[in-house]
Structure 1
Amino acid sequence: MAQPKYGFKTGQKIRLRHAGGVLETRIVRVEGELIFLHPGPGCLLTPGEVVEITFTGGNRQFVYYMQVLRPSTRQGRDAVLRRNPNATYNGTRRGWRVQAGIKATIRKMGAVHGINGVIENIGAEGALVISPCRLQTGNTVILQIQLPELGTIEVEGLVCRTAPAPKDELGEECTAAGIAFSRMSRRHHVALIYYIWNRIRERQRDAIRRKRPVLPSYPRNRMKGSDPEK
């Protein structure tokens, strides 16, 4: 478990992995769950983007996935990143959701058979499930989720919200249900966290391969309507 003394502090050296690559920088200041840093003009961060922060403390390496609240600017404005306030310890980023598109079986509590559906997105605390199952807010359900290369995990959850969804391949009416997980074995919880981490890292690696282009910076004193070739 990550102890508070190994948390973020002003002047701390960190390694930042984002969609455009990897760089090393230092923390400018810390305010609660927020950290401020200036990664430089070449680092193109996007508001809402999830980035990976690593640092060493007490002969251990710590990994945090953080969300960009405000990117840095060419004028020197610091970037602001937020630690997930729902995270209880290093390694459990409970609030993040990843796009999944994986198969699942959903069964109402007390029902004999389940109905096949698709997990649209998933996190350690809940998931968005699309299926022909007729669900209502407050229903307790059992989910059997097929995690690629990790096997099937079983989760009990509570339906928090529902909304109409497009028909499935067979033309059946579907429902999108937001489900909050309420019970899960420790082994299945570890498998789910492992899956979420892998999905985030895959997205980061794919983004690095694409290498978003760096936009050119033009002089501020350029007259409006002037010929850019001159």
Structure 2
Amino acid sequence: MSAFEDMIKWLNDPLNWTNPGGIIERLQEHLLIMAGALPLAVAIAWPIGISLGRSRVGGNLVVLLSNVTQAIPVLALLTVLPLTALGFGKPSVIVALAVFAIPVLLATSFTAMREIDPEIRDAARGMGLSSWQRLWGVELPLAVPYLAAGFRTAAVQVAATAALASFVNGGGLGTIIAAGFGLGLAAAGGQILAGGLLVVGLALFVDGMGALLQRAVTPRQLRKAKRA
């Protein structure tokens, strides 16, 4: 029997879905990791990117911060963070993946503010709007397409990379792959392929949902202008 046939057989076994440590439980762990990492990354990256983008200075700082965070391998963080007070498990994974997601969120939020037409800002200022009123009523609605695109990209990256959580006892779908390697390719090649397929499928699903979210939050006028 080929590894592909083993994968189909493994996925068709209901016990592999419902048993403790099965697909459903590992998927829930995977989603929990994502639910922790993405908001943390957004809370750090967006305020910095939006603030620097509004001031129209700090482009070099954004590049520096993005490069520094991108230069740190996720696997290295997963090796170091468990040795800190975070310990082994999900907290270390969440922090590592948040650091991994920050560069794209930081860059897109900075670009979102920089791409707003200065004449729009001047018009809003001429109407007597305060800085906060301009931000919430004018600038952020125009920046939504960029912010949504950055969030979509970061979500897909986190969904795929969260498979590494198994290295530090963090759970997730990667645990299925790691368990298969523990049993050996000959005995569990189908399980390894199934785990990889599940991770890829989740990443594609997240990308699709991100596309729908991006369209939903983009004002209709901006969608029409983009098509034009």
Q: TM-score, normalised by structure 2?
A: 0.25
Bigger helix share = 2
Structure ranking higher on relative contact order (CA contacts 8 Å, 6+ apart): 2
Bigger strand share = 1
Q: TM-score, normalised by structure 1?
A: 0.24
